[in-house]
Amino acid sequence: MSILVTGSTGTIGSQVLNQLAGSGVEVRGLTRSPNKAQFPAGVIAAPGDLADVDSVRAALKDVSTLFLLVPNVADELTQAMQALTVARESGVKGIVYLSVYKGDVYADVPHFASKNTVERMIEALDLPATALRPAYFIQNDLRQKDPLLSVGVYGMPVGGKGISMVDIRDIAEAAALELLRRERAAKSLPRETYALVGPDVLTGDDVAGIWSDALGRQIRYGGNDTTALEKRMKTMVPAWHALDLRLMLDRYQADGASATADDVGRLTRLLGHAPRSYRNFARDAAAQWIKH
């Protein structure tokens, strides 16, 4: 039997494969282009696409544990629910689903509402799953390199309420730990939920201050204009996606996404170490940017 990782060539999925490599468990990565996939040694390329349910059926043959990461696409909810249905029918004994932090609260943010609906399906059908709920990815801010270095501005309008941003390495590590726990168990395990969060609650001004220290120059926060962000994003992604991201940031500004001490404590116990901090990420990123 084996673990199947969806989203295997993306930012999170590739990190999950790296964490699983060498574990002694057979690992497969679902990919639309198996001949081009550059996976860690020993990882098997499984042809398939979450939008093609028959290919998912074929990929799940002899799979006992599934990592389900569905990209932010227009039919995300359909893809996720179909994948769970096929996994259930194929007899998968364990699932780790990548959800989102505050998905049960941000009812007007499409991809949050979608992931919350998937969690409701998991609960209603009592599927043997761990739901991982990551907050805003710290590494999203690598895209801030140009405004940070050229004009001294942190341009992501995250607001003033505060977000417990999470490092993608902690996401991948948590996912791998839960996948291996479920894969190695003699039988299906009860449902679990983890908030994947950072150790600090950060506002836009806080993040600008961290970058000021990391870069050794004054960095200012660019403000809370999410309409301007939506316009910029529409030059890079479909209009529906740009609106989805704007709505997320509007809710961050209105309500924040602050983790509780219990959230951080549970994640620390799962990882075996404290979650990585934004300050350490910024320091390392700045060193790389200056080096190159």
Block residue for tokens 């043997």: 128
Give the per-residue pLDDT at 291. Answer: 80
Q: Look at residue 32 and tell me whether its pLDDT is greater than 90.
A: yes
What's the domain range around 188? 2-135+168-196
- Using 50, 70 and 90 to split pLDDT, how confident is the model at 1? confident
Q: Is the residue at 202 inside a domain?
A: no
| CATH number (domain holding residue 184) | 3.40.50.720
CA angle 191, 197, 201 (to 5 degrees): 145
How many distinct structural domains can be found in the chain? 1
Q: Which of 122, 256, 275 is nearest to 198 (CA)?
A: 275
pLDDT, tens only, 70-88: 999 999 999 999 999 999 9
Helix axes 168-184, 11-20, angle to 10 degrees: 50
CB atoms under 10 Å from CB of 71, counted, come to: 13
Give the per-residue pLDDT at 257. Answer: 97
Q: Is the residue at 287 inside a domain?
A: no
Could you tell me the sign of the dihedral formed by the alpha carbons of 82, 99, 245, 285, in that order? negative
Question: Phi then psi for 167, rounded to 5 degrees?
Answer: -80, 135
Q: Look at residue 292 and tell me whether its pLDDT is greater than 80.
A: no
Give the per-residue pLDDT at 60. Answer: 98
CB atoms under 10 Å from CB of 203, counted, come to: 18
Q: Is the residue at 253 inside a domain?
A: no
Q: Which of 46, 64, 63, 57 is nearest to 86 (CA)?
A: 57
Give the per-residue pLDDT at 253. Answer: 98
Q: Which helix (H) or strand (E) holds 272?
A: none
Q: Look at residue 237 and tell me whether its pLDDT is greater than 90.
A: yes
* β 153-154/94-98 pair status: unpaired
Q: Look at residue 154 and tell me whether its pLDDT is greater than 90.
A: yes
